């Protein structure tokens, strides 16, 4: 049985949950309590030395310890529906947009949150090593999140999906990033009509309520 190590409140494992649902892959879920620091325990470290969620135990052997590996494995093992593109050009566009949404969206939110939240003091980056917060990075992160919304809104002008003319993993990453931006008080507003229309359309997919 495939097992997802998950945390209901965190954005990164939500990406894996949505992907599993879109692929229709049956799996078990093991919750990992990030709030109490379960990811840093010896027991979890043995499963995933990076001390992060998601992690996916596959039914044919390896433990996959990040979204990049989980996405690549799921697409190879369950090719339908293709979420990483069909043609070489689609694959390139989806990879490019997925990376932009990770870098300009998810990492910007993390920069804003992890460098300011009192509960994350000394945990400015995930993983086994503690890093101190840098308050200036929180301010920069917030500016980047706001710019991310502007960029995504412009991209979605006249488009139904982020990367190509089909739903892809870039849409999953973008929904997770846009929703998680609430944590730093950034939400789609009337200045983002294209982003709002796309987010409302994404809400029609049952996977997005996960």
Ligand X SMILES: N[C@@H](CCC(=O)N[C@@H](CS)C(=O)NCC(=O)O)C(=O)O
We find the least distance from the C-beta atom of residue 180 to ligand X, in angstroms, to be 8
Task: Choose, by CB under 6 A, the member of 4, 5, 11, 153 that binds ligand X.
Answer: 11
Task: Choose, by CB under 6 A, the member of 53, 162, 181, 202 that binds ligand X.
Answer: 53
| Half-sphere exposure of residue 94: CA atoms within 13 angstroms, side-chain side | 23
We find the least distance from the C-beta atom of residue 3 to ligand X, in angstroms, to be 15
Q: Which is nearer to ligand X, 35 or 185 (CB)?
A: 35
Q: Is 161 left (phi over 0), alpha (psi -120 to 50) or beta?
A: beta
**168 binding ligand X? (CB under 6 A):** no
**67 binding ligand X? (CB under 6 A):** yes
Binding track, positions 124-163, relative to ligand X; x by CB under 6 A: --x-------------------------------------
**39 binding ligand X? (CB under 6 A):** yes
Q: Which of 200, 162, 7 is nearest to 83 (CA)?
A: 162
């Amino acid at each position: 049985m495939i097992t997802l190590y998950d945390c209901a409140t965190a954005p990164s494992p939500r990406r894996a949950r949505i992907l599993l649902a879109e692929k229709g892959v049956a799996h078990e879920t093991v919750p990992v309590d990030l709030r109490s620091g379960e990811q840093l325990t010896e027991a979890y470290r043995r499963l995933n030395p990076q001390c992060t969620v998601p992690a996916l135990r596959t039914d044919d052997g390896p433990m996959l310890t990040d979204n990049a590996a989980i996405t690549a494995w799921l697409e190879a093992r369950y090719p339908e529906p293709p979420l990483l593109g069909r043609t070489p050009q689609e694959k390139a566009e989806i990879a490019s947009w997925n990376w932009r949404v990770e870098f300009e969206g998810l990492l910007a939110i993390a920069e804003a949150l992890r460098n300011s939240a009192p509960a994350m003091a000394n945990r400015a980056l995930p993983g086994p090593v503690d890093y101190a917060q840098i308050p200036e990075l929180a301010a920069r992160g917030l500016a980047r999140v706001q710019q991310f919304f502007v960029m995504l809104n412009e991209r979605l002008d006249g488009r139904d999906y982020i990367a190509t003319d089909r739903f892809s993993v870039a849409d999953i990453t973008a929904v997770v990033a846009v929703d998680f931006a609430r944590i730093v008080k950034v939400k789609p507003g009337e200045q983002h009509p294209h982003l709002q229309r796309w987010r409302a359309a994404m809400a029609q997919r049952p996977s997005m309520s996960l």
